Amino acid sequence: MECSLDCESRVTIKVEGLSYRYNSASALDGLTFEVERGELVGLVGPNGSGKTTLLKCLSRVLTPCSGVILLDGRDISKMSLLEVARICASVPSEFSADVNLPVVDAVLLGRHPHVRGVWWEDERDEEVAMRAIERMKISDFARRRLGELSSGEKQRVMLAKALAQEAKVLLVDEPVAYLDIRYQLEIMEILRTLADDGVTVIAAMHQLSLAARYCDKLIVLKKGRIVACGKPEEVICEELIEDVYGVKAFVQKLPSVGLVVIPVATVDGGGVR
């Protein structure tokens, strides 16, 4: 068992020449990168730079125009949707779930790709879902319905759903967007422990300081292209932020905190648009 794991390459996701177009507008342009097992990868870049599109291609919601995505060495375009769903879970930044759906049911839906029976989840499915609920600290409102929750609470429910899916790869779109600073840190800590447990996590983020502190690797996108890829301290610098976002920023490495990025002022002529 050990050997077979080691003989397998450590790479879980390999992307080669990935391109995607919305009608005529190019959204992703020849992306090539690799992600290793158990890495927490931050996907950063301005709005419209292709972060969400990339995540959707990886979870097979969108089919790329060209390029190959290998998941555990297998081409995902040749896998069934259910096979992909068993390996790869995703948490969208925005979603319009049914308002009458109880939280417990939403999390249990994460078991969908794994349920063996025709109708009911078995005891193990429920156990996994309950663990996910505890881990995301949502048991207080587990009996309430989605329509009664705040967007931050909903986001944690969706993360719990993804945990219940027991995926090897977790694709998260703006996991901390609607959360207060405490939950921002809690979610990042949870993503970090998941990665340390061997789950590969790719998170699209806007909070550069958080991304730099928690991620093993950052992929910086601009207009559908990768402009930088590597360890946060190697990638994040004032020049890059000015180039990518069109923003003058203050970047410093604080001894007890890590990298801190403070946006200061916009720069004319920079940015995406």
153 binds another protein (CB under 8 A): no
| Residue with Cβ nearer another protein (79 or 187) | 79
CB atoms within 10 A of CB 113: 18
Amino acid letter for position 72? D
Q: Shortest distance, CB of residue 60 to another protein, whole angstroms? A: 7
156 binds another protein (CB under 8 A): no
Q: Shortest distance, CB of residue 248 to another protein, whole angstroms? A: 36
- Using an 8 Å Cβ cutoff, are 66 and 21 in contact? no
Selected from 12, 49, 59, 207, the binder of another protein by CB under 8 A is 59
Selected from 75, 137, 140, 147, the binder of another protein by CB under 8 A is 147
Q: Which residues contact 139 (CB under 8 A, 6 or more apart)?
A: 133
243 binds another protein (CB under 8 A): no
65 binds another protein (CB under 8 A): no
64 binds another protein (CB under 8 A): no
Task: Provide the strand spans (E) within 37-103.
Answer: 40-44, 66-71, 74-75, 88-91
76 binds another protein (CB under 8 A): no
- Using an 8 Å Cβ cutoff, are 230 and 242 in contact? no
Interatomic CA distance for residues 54 and 119, integer angstroms: 33
Selected from 7, 25, 118, 181, the binder of another protein by CB under 8 A is 118
**Locate tokens 């063996």: which residue?**
116
Q: Which residues contact 219 (CB under 8 A, 6 or more apart)?
A: 33, 41, 42, 43, 44, 226, 228, 229
What is the x/- site pattern for another protein, positions 80-99, by CB under 8 A?
xxxxxxx-xxx-x--xxxxx
Interatomic CA distance for residues 108 and 85, integer angstroms: 14
How many residues sit close enough to another protein to count as binding (CB under 8 A)? 43
Q: Which stretch binds another protein (CB under 8 A): 54-62, 202-210, 250-258, 262-270?
A: 54-62
Q: Which residues bind another protein (CB under 8 A)?
A: 56, 59-61, 80-86, 88-90, 92, 95-102, 104-106, 108-110, 112-113, 115, 118-123, 126, 145, 147, 161, 165
